[in-house]
């Protein structure tokens, strides 16, 4: 597929030599948006509507920027699919600002969340679990940078954007597993329970990897081969996802987690 590039300010005019624009990236972007929004309805959006949510301004900022990203992703994909390259480029600059904001807000929220867990009496569990959001944010921004570095190679660029987005949806996907385990009682949130072990985060994460696998399968079915960007995404993300479990148990990680608390 050569005609849809999600977020870029300077992407070249997409080729239309193979017929009308494909909508694969529109559908992948829409799937990411659905996961991001639906995953947080019971524990955030519904509680906001009912005026039962209690959280800091940082939590609300986190919700805004992490919802804005998949919304922008969908709009950018649709713009390219409809030939709106000029507007796509202009909004791509906003995407760079938004991604950087997400990186900073995501790290700050993760550290504050760990401190909240420590205050609840879950000291080591809270420190261990910090590796999960840190890995998610790191994967997102790493592949976002890769997408920007490939801004003039749209086939790489747009796939790296999807890989980056799949990486950062871990909290939203984990909510579905949380609801399956604990239900959706009014006012219930994950911090009402002890922190989950890091190994429990693997199933939601591997579920999100299916977005990348799906993109690779679509490429293969349509063109007879898998684009290397998907393989790079899985080849980097999966080992990192597996290594977070032993890493979270090391003295070095615990010391790093304690060091981070000095900045809040």
pLDDT tens per residue, range 7-23:
433 444 443 334 344 68
Pick 86 or 57 by higher pLDDT.
57
pTM, two decimals, is: 0.87
Distance between CA 122 and CA 11 in Å, rounded? 47
Q: Please indicate, yes or no, if residue 14 is contained in any of the structural domains.
A: no
Residue 51, sorted as left (phi over 0), alpha (psi -120 to 50) or beta, turns out to be left
Sequence-distant (≥ 6) Cβ neighbours of residue 120 within 8 angstroms: 126, 191
Distance between CA 256 and CA 41 in Å, rounded? 33
Q: What is the pLDDT of residue 243?
A: 96
Cβ pair 117, 195 in contact under 8 A: yes
- Cβ atoms < 10 Å from Cβ of 171: 22
User: Mean pLDDT, the chain, as a whole number?
Assistant: 87
Q: Please indicate, yes or no, if residue 131 is contained in any of the structural domains.
A: yes
Token readout for 201 is: 């985060």
- Full residue range of the structural domain in which residue 214 is found: 24-263
Token readout for 188 is: 């219930």
Q: What is the pLDDT of residue 260?
A: 92
Pick 89 or 261 by higher pLDDT.
261
Q: Please indicate, yes or no, if residue 113 is contained in any of the structural domains.
A: yes
Cβ pair 181, 32 in contact under 8 A: no
Q: Please indicate, yes or no, if residue 6 is contained in any of the structural domains.
A: no
The residue among 184, 177, 182, 204 whose CA lies nearest residue 193 is: 182
Query: Which DSSP symbol is given to 15?
Result: P
Distance between CA 193 and CA 117 in Å, rounded? 10
pLDDT tens per residue, range 37-73:
999 999 999 999 988 888 899 999 999 999 999 999 9
Q: Please indicate, yes or no, if residue 160 is contained in any of the structural domains.
A: yes
Distance between CA 127 and CA 136 in Å, rounded? 16
Q: Please indicate, yes or no, if residue 172 is contained in any of the structural domains.
A: yes
Give just the sign of the alpha carbon dihedral 22, 28, 31, 33: negative
* 203 pLDDT higher than 80: yes
Q: Number of folded domains in the chain?
A: 1
3-state helix, strand, coil split of the chain in percent (to 5) is: 75, 0, 25
* 30 pLDDT higher than 50: yes
Q: Read off the pLDDT band of 84 (50, 70, 90).
A: low
Pick 166 or 3 by higher pLDDT.
166
Q: What is the pLDDT of residue 85?
A: 64
Cβ pair 168, 141 in contact under 8 A: no
Q: Please indicate, yes or no, if residue 246 is contained in any of the structural domains.
A: yes
Least confident of 77-86, 93-102, 231-240: 77-86
Q: Read off the pLDDT band of 34 (50, 70, 90).
A: very high
Q: Please indicate, yes or no, if residue 3 is contained in any of the structural domains.
A: no
């Amino acid at each position: 597929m050569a005609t849809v590039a999600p977020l870029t300010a300077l992407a070249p005019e997409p080729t239309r030599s193979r017929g009308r624009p494909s909508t694969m990236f529109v559908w992948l972007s829409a799937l990411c948006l659905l996961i991001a929004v639906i995953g947080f309805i019971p524990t955030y959006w519904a509680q906001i509507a009912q005026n039962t949510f209690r959280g800091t301004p940082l939590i609300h900022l986190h919700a805004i920027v992490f919802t804005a990203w998949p919304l922008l992703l969908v709009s950018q994909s649709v713009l390219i699919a409809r030939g709106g390259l000029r507007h796509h480029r202009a909004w791509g600059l906003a995407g760079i600002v938004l991604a950087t904001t997400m990186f900073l807000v995501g790290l700050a929220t993760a550290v504050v969340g760990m401190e909240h867990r420590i205050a609840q009496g879950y000291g080591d569990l809270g420190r261990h679990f910090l590796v999960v959001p840190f890995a998610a944010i790191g994967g997102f921004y790493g592949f976002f940078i890769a997408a920007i570095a490939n801004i003039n190679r749209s086939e790489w660029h747009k796939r790296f954007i999807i890989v980056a987005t799949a990486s950062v949806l871990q909290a939203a996907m984990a909510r579905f597993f949380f609801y399956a385990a604990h239900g959706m009682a009014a006012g219930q949130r994950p911090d009402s329970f002890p922190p989950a072990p890091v190994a429990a985060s693997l199933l939601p994460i591997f579920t999100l990897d299916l977005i990348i696998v799906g993109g690779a399968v679509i490429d293969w079915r349509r063109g007879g081969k898998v684009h290397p960007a998907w393989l790079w995404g899985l080849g980097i993300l999966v080992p990192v996802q597996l290594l977070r479990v032993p890493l979270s148990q090391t003295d070095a990680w615990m010391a790093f987690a304690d060091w981070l608390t000095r900045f809040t």
